[in-house]
Amino acid sequence: MFSVLVVEDDEIINKMICVKLRQDAYRTFVAFDGVQALEVLDREHIDLIISDIMMPNMDGYKLTRALRNVGYTIPILMVTAKSQMDDMEKGFIAGTDDYMIKPINMKEMVLRVKALLRRAQIANEKKLVIGSTILDYDALTIKTKEEEFEMPPKEFYLLFKLLSNPNKIFTRQDLMDELWGMDTEVDDRTVDSHIKKLRRKFENTTDFHIITIRGLGYKAKI
């Protein structure tokens, strides 16, 4: 179970966020300013922080800078009032990972939390887990329930890219630019060929599917 620290000086908003997170199976911890947040971090393992900007004693910017300055890579979702939108750049410079605008859409918040945790897990472990399928970036292997595949690099990177961004549509050109760079021998058919090979190898899995978006490119559905 992931642990989320909610740093918000408005007690009602803080409680609403925690209730929604607990409904979605997250463990929650509470702080009402940056100083209290640091105290929680000293004694608890926290996977993600949701922090307001304007708080007494230590605001969200100072909290974020303090954590980044000592090497914390924990994902931080900053919450700001609409009137503070001009300060968004300041937040990203401090080291926040994502932003939400008040009033908070709770469903959107949970989606953003999931995305941030997913990216953090990939970055830290260089492994991607989709159901019972495990992609190991360093070993270039993919394990399913039935077998383990040692993958050609381009096939692995292509599938890793798609599965790291589920439901995001990548054009053939996007994939060519990122995976093959300036290789002039590569064209659309190369991408299509690699997709066909991946579909054949993983035709029996129910963990994910590669979907063709006619006229655009491909996306992964999990």
Per residue in 181-207, pLDDT (tens digit) is 755 577 778 999 999 999 999 998 999
Kindly state the helix (H) or strand (E) to which residue 35 belongs, with its residue range.
helix 34-43
- Single out the residue of 99, 97, 77 nearest to residue 88, CA to CA: 99
Look at 12-21, 29-38, 113-122 and tell me which has the smallest mean pLDDT. Answer: 113-122
Q: Global pTM?
A: 0.62
CATH topology for 127-221 is Arc Repressor Mutant, subunit A (1.10.10)
- Residue 169, pLDDT score: 93
Rounded to an integer, what distance in angstroms lies between the CA atom of residue 222 and that of residue 206? 8
48-97 pLDDT, tens digit per residue, is 999 999 899 999 999 999 999 988 889 999 998 866 666 777 788 889 99
The side-by-side arrangement of strands in the sheet containing 170-171 is 170-171, 217-221, 209-213
- Single out the residue of 69, 83, 58 nearest to residue 7, CA to CA: 58
Q: Which CATH architecture has domain 3-125?
A: 3-Layer(aba) Sandwich (3.40)
98-107 pLDDT, tens digit per residue, is 989 888 999 9
Domain chopping of the chain, boundaries: 3-125, 127-221
Rounded to an integer, what distance in angstroms lies between the CA atom of residue 14 and that of residue 19? 9
Mean pLDDT is highest, among 28-42, 71-85, 96-110, 169-183, for 28-42
Mean pLDDT is highest, among 86-90, 120-124, 170-174, for 170-174
